[in-house]
């Protein structure tokens, strides 16, 4: 049984993947049950994510389904191994918003090997400085006290640490207004832009600016985060923000649409090199002490 007595994101992903592989192999649940010496009811519970599959059983099923790709096998085994693993966000004295609302998103992000994000208004979360994040929390009606604001900042910084430790690839397209729009102070503004330039130098990072004039491309989609796993290049999960929650999408048709949207945005955006020069030009134009900047 997954931790907490209910399906986890990892157990659901593993179960869905095993079901897909079984169907692709044109096998039924009886074949799977016979291979791992269990009941068909257990196979059904594994495929729904209601129970965790043992790593040994996953290996047997992958052999049965003819899965030879080593990256895919390692991903399936990791999902089985980590399905009951305690999420790092549970180490915080977190309120319901982090434990329940963001828990699935943080789990999905932690496992991702490639993260794409399109942000027309804000700096992407993994690229935010603490002072920029503080400004956002101060303006949020859902963050009612300093303790809650501190929690948001700590979680966001830990997200960055986990991301850097995992070495995932990251690609961001940011619309110009998110960079030129007023921030709380010129100092915060300059610091945030300097941080973007620094992060853009990382070998696993690609940051592109979509010029204001490319308004047609900017309209292809609201902000989103696309997550890929193993060798999969197209997004397997897309995260959409709402006012006080996030929506997780996994439908294959939707993934195709968001992959196309991101390709459109990247094609219309400045190259990574020109984007860094553009950000630096904005930063150099900001004068500390000029509160109107």
Domain ranges (residues) in the chain: 3-82, 88-284
147 and 98 Cβ atoms separated by less than 8 Å? no
The answer to whether 31 touches 72, Cβ cutoff 8 Å, is no
Give pLDDT, residue 74.
85
**DSSP calls for 83-107:** TTPPPGGGGS---HIIIIITHHHHH
Cα separation of 144 and 126, whole Å? 23
Q: Is 137 helix (H, G, I), strand (E, B) or coil?
A: helix
Pick the CATH number of 88-284 from 3.30.870, 3.40.50, 1.10.3470, 3.30.70: 3.30.870
Structure tokens that stand for 282 in this block: 């904005």
- Quick check: do 3-82 and 88-284 share a fold? no
Residue 13 confidence (pLDDT): 79
Residue 79 C-beta-side C-alpha neighbours within 13 Å? 31
Query: Residue 156, Cβ neighbours under 10 Å: how many?
Result: 18
pLDDT of residue 70: 87
Q: What is the pLDDT of residues 158-206, one digit of tens each?
A: 888 888 887 889 999 999 999 998 888 899 999 999 999 999 999 999 9
Q: Which CATH superfamily is domain 3-82 in?
A: lambda repressor-like DNA-binding domains (1.10.260.40)
pLDDT at residue 293 in the model: 42
The model carries a pTM of: 0.74
At residue 145, the pLDDT reads 65
Residues of the chain with pLDDT under 70: 1-8, 84-103, 139-145, 148, 230-232, 243-245, 289-293
């Amino acid at each position: 049984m997954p931790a907490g007595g209910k399906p986890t994101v990892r157990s659901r992903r593993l179960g869905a993947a095993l079901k897909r592989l079984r169907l692709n192999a044109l096998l039924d649940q009886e074949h799977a049950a016979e291979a791992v010496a269990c009941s068909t009811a257990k196979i059904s519970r594994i495929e729904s994510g209601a129970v965790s599959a043992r790593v040994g059983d996953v290996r047997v099923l992958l052999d049965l389904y003819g899965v030879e790709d080593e990256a895919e096998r390692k991903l399936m085994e990791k999902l089985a191994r980590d399905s009951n693993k305690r999420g790092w966000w549970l180490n915080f004295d977190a309120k319901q918003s982090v434990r329940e609302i963001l828990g699935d998103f943080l789990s999905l992000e932690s496992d991702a090997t490639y993260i794409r994000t399109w942000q027309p208004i804000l700096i992407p979360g993994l690229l935010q400085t603490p002072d920029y994040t503080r400004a956002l929390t101060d303006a949020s009606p859902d963050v009612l006290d300093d303790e809650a604001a501190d929690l948001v900042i700590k979680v966001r910084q830990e997200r960055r640490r986990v991301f850097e430790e995992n070495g995932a690839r990251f690609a961001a397209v940011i619309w110009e207004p998110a960079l030129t729009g007023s921030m709380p102070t010129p100092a915060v503004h300059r610091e945030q832009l300097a941080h973007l330039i620094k992060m853009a130098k990382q070998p696993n990072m690609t940051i592109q600016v979509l010029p204001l004039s490319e308004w047609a491309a900017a309209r292809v989609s609201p902000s989103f985060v696309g997550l890929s796993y193993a060798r999969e290049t197209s997004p397997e999960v897309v995260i959409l923000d709402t006012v006080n929650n996030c929506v997780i999408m996994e439908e294959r048709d939707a993934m195709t649409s968001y992959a196309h949207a991101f390709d459109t945005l990247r094609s219309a955006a400045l190259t990574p090199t020109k984007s860094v020069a553009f950000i630096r030009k904005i930063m150099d134009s900001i004068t500390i002490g000029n509160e109107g900047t």
